[in-house]
Chains A and B, each alone.
Chain A
């Protein structure tokens, strides 16, 4: 039993350490902070960023966003 758990641990360890950790110089802590939220259940971050972007676009171009949506709706 212990041996199996240990083998599972070793396998998992090898999986995780196969890729070297991602570093971005001085931006590494910010990158890690963002990625931590994207690894498990990333939807709140996706929706939040999308909401901010779309509201910014609405502030920028106003009701002309309906034109973009009309184009996209014809785009399939």
Chain B
């Protein structure tokens, strides 16, 4: 199959899996790990690139190509380093317990809730810039925003759990053990991302 054909197949599979991770995450993750296509990473990458381009515009707040490009590269590089770091830890964890890891594509799908939260937050910060006041409207908005954020966090946690459940074929105890290894590394990564001014909320 040529490149265009592969891209089309990847695009269609991505669309199908997107509907799946919203409505039937368990079954869809089983399919992603078993029959996932590496070309599905292309639409995911395009969505991320779209967000980083928008975030660069919002953060830089000026049409200066050098600053915009610098910001875009920083955001993309930061997110790519987080993704690669996670995949490497999961791969190493799989080697340690003598299992074969198929986690890269599955973990890439867990970036969908992340990018959706960041995208929504960017747009909201343009429409309703912070800080929020303690008025009734401010508190109501805050409650709604937190419900939205925590809901997406549960979705993210579920997809991360399914990545380990199907990608590494682990039971719940071992999934917690792997996350216990991941958390300090993510913490350190988040600290450096914050210190370097790339992400204040970790893009994982």
Contact assessment for A65 and B154 in the assembled complex, using a CB-CB cutoff below 8 Å? no
Identify which of B145, B158, B199 contacts A69 (C-beta below 8 A): B145
Q: A38-B26, A38-B158, A66-B139 are in contact. Are A76 and B146 (CB under 8 A)?
A: no
Cβ of B125 and Cβ of A73 under 8 Å apart? yes
Q: Are A39 and B27 in contact (CB under 8 A)?
A: yes
For residue A26, CB closer than 8 A to chain B, the reply is no
B118 close to A (CB within 8 Å):
yes
Give every chain A residue within 8 A of B55 (Cβ-Cβ).
Answer: 76
- B154 near A50 (CB under 8 angstroms)? yes
A2 at the interface (CB under 8 A from B): no
Chain B, Cβ-Cβ closest to A75:
B201
Kindly state the interface size class of chain B when it binds its partner.
35 or more
Q: Is the CB–CB distance between A54 and B200 below 8 Å? A: no
Query: When the two chains form their complex, are residues B200 and A66 in contact, meaning their CB atoms are under 8 A apart?
Result: no
Which of B5-13, B103-111, B164-172 lies on the face that meets chain A? B164-172
Q: Is A10 an interface residue (CB 8 A)?
A: no
Per-position binary interface string of chain B over residues 19-33, scored 1 when its CB falls under 8 Å from any chain A CB and 0 otherwise: 000111111001000
Chain B residue with the shortest CB-CB distance to A20: B171
Chain A contact residue count (CB 8 A cutoff):
36
Chain B residues near A66 (CB-CB < 8 A): 131-134, 138-139, 142
The reply to whether A42 and B25 form a contact with Cβ atoms under 8 Å apart is: yes
Q: Are B146 and A65 in contact (CB under 8 A)?
A: yes
- 20 A/B residue pairs, CB under 8 Å, sorted by A: A15-B34, A19-B166, A23-B171, A24-B172, A39-B26, A40-B27, A42-B25, A42-B154, A42-B155, A43-B151, A49-B154, A50-B146, A54-B147, A66-B133, A66-B138, A69-B132, A74-B200, A75-B200, A75-B201, A76-B118
Residues of B within 8 A of A (CB): 22-27, 30, 34, 55, 58, 118, 121-122, 124-125, 129-134, 138-139, 141-143, 145-151, 154-155, 158, 165-166, 169, 171-172, 199-201
5 A-B pairs besides A38-B158, A58-B143, A66-B133 with CB distance below 8 A are A38-B26, A41-B23, A46-B154, A66-B138, A66-B139
Closest 10 interchain pairs by CB? A75-B201, A50-B150, A66-B132, A70-B131, A73-B130, A69-B142, A39-B26, A75-B200, A63-B134, A70-B130
